[in-house]
Every structure is written in structure tokens, then in C-alpha cells.
Amino acid sequence: MTLDSDVAAPVESAWAPLPGCGAVRVGQVAPPRRVVVSDDGLARMRTAIQSVIADVVQVGIADVCADPLVFALTAGLPRLTGFDKSIDGGSAWRDEAPIVPGQLYAVSEIAEVAERRTSGGQRMVRVAYLTTFTDQHGQSVGSATGTSVHLGAGT
């Protein structure tokens, strides 16, 4: 099946939600973290971005949180262990407001745990780590999601 196919994927390939797996549970929240965005730091980010893409001057969540999976794990959330392979399943960012100098507050949580079987019967577990960012006034400035995929038996 190709990505643009109108044919539905077989039922066994659908992801089934799980409340958790091992030490990883949906809804686990890491302690809030403070991210300081200084005038100088913001200027350096803009300069770096402009050196690659001349017309971009807006700094976004991806510039503050380049790797959402690592960010959430560093905040203290657990990662699944005991699988044959663990890989980075991708990242996504959503900007809601401009990043300005000051403090941002980041809260990371486990947003999803899901399981499926490959066509060969191998177990796959996907974990989505969501980090939301608010400014010093409590207004949302954006979010970042990092996903890990684990293959094999698992524990």
C-alpha cells in the first residue's frame, strides 16, 4: 500500500492504544522546566537561521526545543527498555505565539502509548512525548512532540 492509496490498511496494522507499557504510562508528567530566552540568545538564533534561510526572522519552538524526545527524557520521563530495537519515530512542532525574551515554562508528558504487530508478527510499541511551552504570563507559545518506536518482545 502506498501513502496515497485509498485502500484501508489491514486491521492488524492499526495502532491500538495502551494505558502504558513497562514503566511508561500515559499521563505521566515530568517536573516543569524553565527555559530562559535571552535577548542575546534570541539574536544569535535569528542570525543562525538567517545565515541559512535569508528571509526567516521568526524564532519558533523548534529553535528552543530541537529534539522533543531528548528534551522530554532529559526532563525525567522514562523510556521503554527491554526491546530489541528502539528508534526515534519523528518530531513535530506547533508554534502558537512568537518567542520573545524572557522565561518559558516547559511541561513534558507521555501523551500516547500504542501497540501494533508488523506483518511478520513482531511487536511494535509507539510512545509520544508531548512538551507544552508557556510564557511567563501563562500563555501558550507552542508545543513539541517526540516519538519513540520500540520493536521486539519487550518487557
Report the CATH number that the domain containing residue 78 is assigned in CATH: 3.10.129.10
Give residue 110's Cα distance to chain centre.
Answer: 9
Look at residue 1 and tell me whether its pLDDT is greater than 90: no
| Ranges 1-5, 26-30, 44-48, 133-137: which has the least confidence | 1-5
pLDDT of residue 3: 36
Distances (CA, A) of 67 to 16, 71, 134: 26, 6, 18
On whether residue 3 sits in a domain, the answer given is no
Rounded to two decimals, what is the model's pTM?
A: 0.83
Cβ atoms within 10 Å of 118's Cβ, excluding its own: 11
* Arithmetic mean of pLDDT over the chain: 86
49: containing domain: 14-151
On whether residue 103 sits in a domain, the answer given is yes
